[in-house]
Structure 1
Amino acid sequence: MNKTWDMTGKTVLITGASRGIGAEAARAFSAAGANVALVARSADSLQDLAAELGERVFAIATDVANHSQVEVAVKQTTARFGGLDVLINNAGVIEPISHLSSADPDGWGRAVDINLKGVFYGMRAALPVMKAAGGGTIITVSSGAAHHPIEAWSHYCASKAGAAMLTACLDLEERHNGIRAMGLSPGTVATKMQREIAASGINPVSRIPWEDHVPPEWPARALVWMCSPDADDFVGQEISLRDEAIRARVGLA
């Protein structure tokens, strides 16, 4: 449980950083010595987290569904810290949970804007900076829902499946340019999203006992490990925290 990886001098941009996995990832990367850019829509929450973590942490209120705002966030990060070494595509939404027959088209589309297009916007903005510097790491937080249909989650399953394919395309096109593209499927995590899932009462995931969800610190630690040379064998792949061998590698078992 005490494995550590040194990120001193590296710059990490994390989307969806105001809560849950994103906030814990910010803490983990900051503790490892990295400069951290916090990106989310909630300016107040970001500022509170930046104040908690100190001067190497920078908050940028950003809607990842807006490509211009994402480009600005990357530019501000590189101006502040001199570069960008890691992008963590973590921002995501599960609402509105609904069967296809009654799904709100605007809400369905908004989920795709955040969960899929937001991932593309992050990749598109970060790639020129990383390639100019000789490489970098881009990790997208994935889900088992990317690979299996789940009742009333058509928006989430479709957008996560698309994001997983984006990661595969990124690896195919940019590995030779030094880009380390990977996905992390964290399993069910004790975050606000799981509260929203439980409140829906739809499908078996909503009925998983709270104590069975992993703490957000686990995927946060995994994300830091994935940026280390120890994870080089997994470049181009989606890593699952359900895998006991991966947990052991990260130091979670």
Structure 2
Amino acid sequence: MDIAGKSVLITGASRGIGAATARIFAEAGARLVLMARSRDALDDLARDLGAVAHAGNVAEFADMAGAVELAQDAYGGLDVLIGNAGVITPMGPLATSDPSEWARAININLTGVYNGMRAAIPVMQAAGRGTILTVSSGAAHRPVDGWSAYCASKAGAAMLTASADLEGRDHGLRVMGLSPGTVATDMQRDVKDSGISPVSRLDWSEHIPADWPARALLWMCGPQADAHLGTEISLRDPAMRQAIGLGNPRD
């Protein structure tokens, strides 16, 4: 896919991977709808990039459906959905976890991905084409001490992504996930401040810059990524980083 002129909806777009992705896609000529809960930061970024902003919560289907509708109204359709919004909290022992905070993580990290897909898939199927990319994590496939909500929600989102590919591929949909590894964002600062899990003890230099997953997501919009439909691309894989045109974390 040549992304120039294509409509792209990015959730969790006000900071971190989402904001970096918005900048990379804008540079490539995409027409953007940016969604996040942080209205001020979102509006500033949208203004800088000439994008359309939609303040909302991915955990609320009406908000997510409104973002898809906005893409249709502004650009005549939706070509790409990037499900990036996510939270790492609560972190701590499962035995003492707060049930409401635990459920909140599931609602954002898993139900939020479902809401995006549920809103976008009928629009994409009607057009006979569309790309859906989910930002995943290594925590989707292995437990991490103190991260039960994050691991469980990301594991669910990974299976949901595979399910969407199974159901959507024959309708012209391209669906896959990206597992970026640890990224130098505010989320990793929260992890480090928590002192919970081995990840909190990583040196900051071991985290990749946020523009790496952004560039990987752009690469995934093209046919060169079709071999990975229904699966996850991992930026921990040196061969994959080379294929995308990325370097090494310490370069």
Give TM class, smaller chain: over 0.9
Match for 2:221: what amino acid? C
Q: 1:136 aligns with which of 126, 130, 134?
A: 130
Give me the whole-angstrom Cα distance separating, in 2, the residues matched to 1:118 and 1:237: 19
Does residue 15 of the first structure (1) align with residue 7 of the second (2)?
Answer: no
Match for 2:115: what amino acid? Y
Give me the whole-angstrom Cα distance separating, in 2, the residues matched to 1:66 and 1:202: 30
What's the counterpart of residue 48 of structure 1?
44
What's the counterpart of residue 20 of structure 2?
24
Give me the whole-angstrom Cα distance separating, in 1, the residues matched to 2:196 and 2:74: 44
Mapping 1:99-110, distance limit 5 Å: 99-110=93-104
Match for 1:243: what amino acid? D
What's the counterpart of residue 89 of structure 1?
83
Cα shift at 1:232: 1.3
Does residue 146 of the first structure (1) align with residue 122 of the second (2)?
Answer: no
Give the TM-score, by structure 1 length.
0.96
1:183 is paired with a residue of what secondary structure?
strand
Does residue 124 of the first structure (1) align with residue 124 of the second (2)?
Answer: no
- Check conservation: 1:6, 1:33, Cα contact below 8 A: no
Match for 1:92: what amino acid? G
Give me the whole-angstrom Cα distance separating, in 1, the residues matched to 2:67 and 2:214: 21
| Identity in percent | 62
Instruction: Output one character per residue of 1:183-227: Cα deviation in whole Å (capped at 9) or x when no partner.
Output: 000000000000000011011100000111000000000000000
**Moved segments of 4+, more than 4 Å:** none
1:152 is paired with a residue of what secondary structure?
coil
Aligned-residue CA RMSD (Å): 0.8
Does residue 198 of the first structure (1) align with residue 208 of the second (2)?
Answer: no
Corresponding pairs, count:
247
Give the TM-score, by structure 2 length.
0.97
Cα shift at 1:236: 1.2
Match for 1:77: what amino acid? A
Does residue 235 of the first structure (1) align with residue 235 of the second (2)?
Answer: no
Match for 2:156: what amino acid? G
What's the counterpart of residue 62 of structure 1?
56
Match for 2:85: what amino acid? A
Cα shift at 1:6: 3.5
Give me the whole-angstrom Cα distance separating, in 1, the residues matched to 2:196 and 2:55: 32
Cα shift at 1:230: 1.3
Match for 1:219: what amino acid? P
Instruction: Output one character per residue of 1:120-155: Cα deviation in whole Å (capped at 9) or x when no partner.
Output: 000000001101111110000000000000111000
1:87 is paired with a residue of what secondary structure?
strand
Give me the whole-angstrom Cα distance separating, in 1, the residues matched to 2:144 and 2:79: 35
Match for 2:167: what amino acid? E
- Check conservation: 1:185, 1:239, Cα contact below 8 A: yes
Q: 1:249 aligns with which of 236, 243, 249?
A: 243
Does residue 112 of the first structure (1) align with residue 106 of the second (2)?
Answer: yes
Unaligned runs of 5+ in 1: none
Match for 2:216: what amino acid? A
Give me the whole-angstrom Cα distance separating, in 1, the residues matched to 2:201 and 2:240: 26
What's the counterpart of residue 35 of structure 1?
31
